[in-house]
Chains A and B, each alone.
Chain A
């Protein structure tokens, strides 16, 4: 089955700096890569996703990149704000019934 590795497990940045979270996946059939933000006491919330036919996608301060050859994908958050503090999960899916395999999460702390 699919295995998704994520690092770092914790990340502290100063407000206004950029944050980068990296993931790798094992199943070359994976074609959909969502990123979720989870705040304390809440379920994961989709913040951005990318499909295998796209190398990069941007939405305001958030961008994702995908390297299918290397099976790497990354989340970039620019101009970080305290409200960006949360746990972020990368995930991979092989489509079909969309069984999603999650990484182990990155706890991001933005220091004001």
Chain B
């Protein structure tokens, strides 16, 4: 257990529905990252927060995706109008300051039917 938690661990939804995932980072970590991992691939960067500010978004993050970190603590990732191609593991990671080490949570596995 790295100290990063994600909820839910699994989510099955029908195409077109909206889903929201939550990430709770290690409490003192000011940086929070979202990644997406498909089967047989490495994690791909989606977006990054420093405190409550979203500082970088990947081109992978289409308009249907939105992420927030309202108080600089937990973060949510919402996917609107889900598509089958959104099926993946969504990973959250956190880090402290300028240290590069990122601690990953267990991930949320999304299946879109």
Given contacts A34-B101, A41-B106, A43-B2, contact A101 B45 (CB under 8 A): yes
- B16: chain A residues at CB < 8 Å are none
Q: Is B70 an interface residue (CB 8 A)?
A: no
- B41: chain A residues at CB < 8 Å are 104-105
Q: How far is the CB of B107 from chain A (nearest CB, A)?
A: 5
Q: How far is the CB of B67 from chain A (nearest CB, A)?
A: 15
Q: Name, among A6, A34, A89, A100, the residue most crowded by chain B CB atoms within 10 Å (CB to CB).
A: A100
Interface size class of B (residues with CB under 8 A): 20 to 34
Q: Is A61 an interface residue (CB 8 A)?
A: no
Q: Name, among A4, A46, A97, the residue most crowded by chain B CB atoms within 10 Å (CB to CB).
A: A97
**Cross-interface CB contact of B100 among A4, A36, A45, A49, cutoff 8 Å:** A49
Question: Hey, which bits of chain B sit against chain A, CB under 8 A?
Answer: 2, 4, 31, 33, 40-45, 48, 50, 55-56, 91, 93, 95, 100-107
Q: How far is the CA of A104 from the CA of B42 in the complex (A)?
A: 5
* Residues of A contacting B: mostly: strand
- B42: chain A residues at CB < 8 Å are 4, 6, 89, 91, 102-105
**Cross-interface CB contact of A46 among B40, B55, B101, B107, cutoff 8 Å:** B101
